[in-house]
Amino acid sequence: MSTQMLRLPQVSLPTILATPAPSIDLRLTSYYVSTSNFLKAVSSYKHRALTSLTALSSKHAAESKRLSEKAHALETETNQCKVREIELVGALEREKEERKDAELEVAALKRQLAALREKSAAIESDIEQYKAITDNLRRERASERSTLLKHASSISPEVSALEAALGCSLEGIENGHLLLRFFHLSRASPELECSLVFDVSQGYKVVTASPPLPTLALLVNTLVETNRFNEFVRDVRQAYLTHLNPNS
C-alpha cells in the first residue's frame, strides 16, 4: 500500500488574526487517515517479515535435520566400514596362517613324495636285480632240466629194468607229493598195483593208500622215528605181501 505525504497549506497568521473568529484548519481527518494507513503498512510489513522469518526458520530447521540425519548415516556407515575393515584384517590374517600351514603341508608332502620316489627307484632297482637273478635261475634250471632229461633218457631202460626186478617205483608228483607203487604182490591178481602217496612237505604224511594197509600207521611211525626210508619201503612191501596173500 502506497502512502502520500500530507502537505499542509501555508498559513498567514496576520490574515487569520484579522478575521472575526480566528481559527486554523489542521486537517486532522486527513492526518488520522494517513496515520492509520501508515500503521497498517507497518503491520503488513511486520506480518510479511514474521512469515518470511518463520519460513526461513522452518527451512533452516529442515536443512539442519537433514544434515544431522546425513551426518548420522555417514557416521553409521563409517562405523560399519571400520567393523568390516577389522573383519577383513582378521580374515586376511587367518588366510595368511592357513596359507602358511598349507605351504608347510605341501613342503612335507613334497618331501614324502621325494622319499617315495627314491624308495620306488630303489625297489625298481631291486626288482630288476631279482628279475636278472630269476632269469639266470630259470636258464640254469632249464639247463639242469635238459641235462637231467638227457641222463634220464639214457638210464630210463635201466631204471625200468630195476623197477621190474624190485617190483616197486618211486616218483614225484605235484605239490610236493611222492608216489610209491608196488607191482606183482598178489598171487591171485598179479595185475593188482598197490600205491602210497606221501606229502613230504609235512614230513612223512601218507595222503592215500590203495588198497588200505592195516599196519600202515605203525610202519609210518617207525619211519618218522628212524628216518630209514629204504627199510620202510621193504617193510611196506612185505606187509602188502602178507595182507594180499593170507594163505601163503
**pLDDT at site 140:** 79
**pLDDT at site 197:** 92
**pLDDT at site 111:** 92
* Beta bridge partner(s), residue 172: 178
**pLDDT at site 7:** 62
What is the rounded distance in angstroms from the CA atom of residue 41 to the CA atom of residue 55?
21
CA 112 from centroid of its chain's CA atoms: 18
3-state secondary structure (DSSP) of residue 174: coil
Residue 186 and residue 180 in contact, taking contact as beta carbons nearer than 8 Å: no
Residue numbers of the chain with a pLDDT score lower than 70 = 1-9, 11, 25-26, 144-165, 248
Per-residue pLDDT of 211-233, as tens digits, reads 999 999 999 999 989 988 889 98
Q: Is 228 left (phi over 0), alpha (psi -120 to 50) or beta?
A: beta
**pLDDT at site 155:** 46
**pLDDT at site 21:** 79
- Strand positions, DSSP E, the chain: 168-173, 177-182, 194-199, 205-210
